[in-house]
Structure 1
Amino acid sequence: MEDRLPHGRAGGGLSASEPAEPLHPVGRDAGRMDAFILANTALSVPPHVPEIRLRLASEAFGLWQRTEEELATLGLPPPFWAFAWAGGQALARYLLDNPGVVRGREVIDVGTGSGLAAIAAARAGARRVHACDTDAFAQRAASLNAAVNGAAITVCGEDVLARSPFDPASPFAAILGAGPTVVLLGDLFYEPALARGMRNLAERLCARGHGVFVGDPSRAYLPRDGVLHELAVYEVPVTRALEDAEVRRSAVYAFRHKDFA
């Protein structure tokens, strides 16, 4: 029987019997977070996006071997930022191969994690890229990874589900009000509540003329009622310790609006 990672993602290679070095307390200031990230990751190349380098956890570091309780005790959310998930790799690959999707446009990457899709958008010629994640460690990881790749992105911690991006107080209100914007959702349909929120957000964005692009390896809560238009399919190499296979068939989809071209 396969093991289950936090928040519903499967991992076939984790074992409670495998020892892991204990985590050490880390503060929330940028310097200490950066030090933690650098100590627990190595500069790596995502297999499906070799043009980009990221600070990623290797199996040896065993971040996913820590229980949610231990991470919570240390004030650390699950380290989604430390891995290049299949949906994010597919989305980044699509943007690099189809730069016209983002060239010259404002881009918002929701749940940016490592920053992979945001970096790909910047390299594909986006006018400005806004990488958004509520996890402070993800914000720092995305910033570090952008610097490694020489990519100009703006990182923020705005929660687009807690406050509508159309709210005048949102940092995205002016961006969305200025014209068609590209919004990226990479591998975010793995929990029911999160998936519902992302779908509602995507439908509201499309109704106002914005383009929403999804990268996903058929997670459990990916919409399957025809609202997604498939654009590309990839066979993405993944780590068995994180997924239930060595390759995940991953697709890029669009919620399309008639006025977005």
Structure 2
Amino acid sequence: MIPFPAADPAAFIRAHTAPAPVPLRPDILLWQATEITPIWQATEEWLARNGVPPPFWAFPWAGGQAVANLIADDPSLVAGRRILDFAAGSGLIAIAAMKAGAAHATAVEIDPFAVAATRMNAELNGVAVTGITDDIIGRPLPGIDIVLAGDVCYERPFAEAALSWFRDLARAGTTVLVGDPGRAYLPAQGLDRLATYAVPTTRELEDREVRVTDVWRVPQSAA
């Protein structure tokens, strides 16, 4: 079993991941798991004792890749704006935003290992991202112009809470974009599709090698 040094997330990340390009954004490098099963077993063992989430931060998931690619296609979405990467995982979206000229990027996660990975990934790509460990669902976001999220609809309670909050933020004037490859709890209505991408993935993570992934905008009039 892989040892899990809880006191030093950066050491764990360096020991069990390696820098590699993001399939849909090869200009961005992330610390990624090279052997998925061992890293998952390592965190599952720790999770049983200490409540550490699984290592979602070790992989570029399809929803985040799609949002990052939309940013590359249309940098004006984020240029000069203050963005928040919600449930950031690896921080891919925040990094893409900074590379496209965002004024400031904050990546928020409940997992301190994800925040550590985000900081390391930002450094790897030569950009500055503020990483925060916190549960911010339901809070107002003063000073944030746009919220970006990928793959938040995989679990019903989390998806429902996040989308309700997103609608509140949109009604208050914040732009909210969500990347999703058809997860089970994506709302069937009430979102505007902005773009669709074929995202390369792996059968170790998904049930297919390419996931068709949409980027949605939460409209200000969302019910």
Question: Structure 1 residue 72 and structure 2 residue 47: aligned?
Answer: yes
CA contact (8 A) 1:41 1:61 kept: no
Q: Partner residue of 1:113?
A: 89
Question: Structure 1 residue 186 and structure 2 residue 150: aligned?
Answer: yes
Q: Partner residue of 1:252?
A: 215
CA offset at residue 69 of structure 1? 5.0
CA offset at residue 152 of structure 1? 1.2
Q: 1:192 to 1:236 in 2, by over 3 A?
A: same
Q: Partner residue of 2:203?
A: 240
CA contact (8 A) 2:44 2:54 kept: no
Please tell me the residue identity of whatever aligns with 2:2.
Answer: L
Between structures 1 and 2, the one with greater strand share: 2
Of the candidates 212, 220, 235, which is equivalent to residue 184 of structure 2? 220
Q: 1:73 to 1:92 in 2, by over 3 A?
A: same
Q: TM-score, normalised by structure 1?
A: 0.80
CA contact (8 A) 2:32 2:59 kept: yes
User: Matched residue of 2:216: which SS?
Assistant: strand
Question: What is the number of equivalent residue pairs in this alignment?
Answer: 220
Question: Structure 1 residue 23 and structure 2 residue 16: aligned?
Answer: no
Question: Aligned ranges for residues 132-211 of structure 1 at < 5 Å?
Answer: 132-161=108-137, 164-166=138-140, 172=141, 174-176=142-144, 181-211=145-175
CA offset at residue 51 of structure 1? 1.0
CA contact (8 A) 2:108 2:115 kept: yes
Q: Partner residue of 2:192?
A: 229
Q: Percent same amino acid at aligned positions?
A: 42
Please tell me the residue identity of whatever aligns with 2:5.
Answer: V
What CA distance in whole angstroms lies between the structure 2 residues aligned with 1:238 and 1:158?
Answer: 29
Q: CA RMSD in A?
A: 1.6
User: Matched residue of 1:184: which SS?
Assistant: strand
CA contact (8 A) 2:78 2:100 kept: yes
Q: TM-score, normalised by structure 2?
A: 0.93
What are the Cα deviations for residues 9-35 of structure 1, in whole angstroms up to 9, with x where unaligned?
xxxxxxxxxxxxx1213123xxx1100
Q: 1:69 to 1:61 in 2, by over 3 A?
A: closer
What are the Cα deviations for residues 42-98 of structure 1, in whole angstroms up to 9, with x where unaligned?
11011111110000002366323x287523146332000000001110110111111
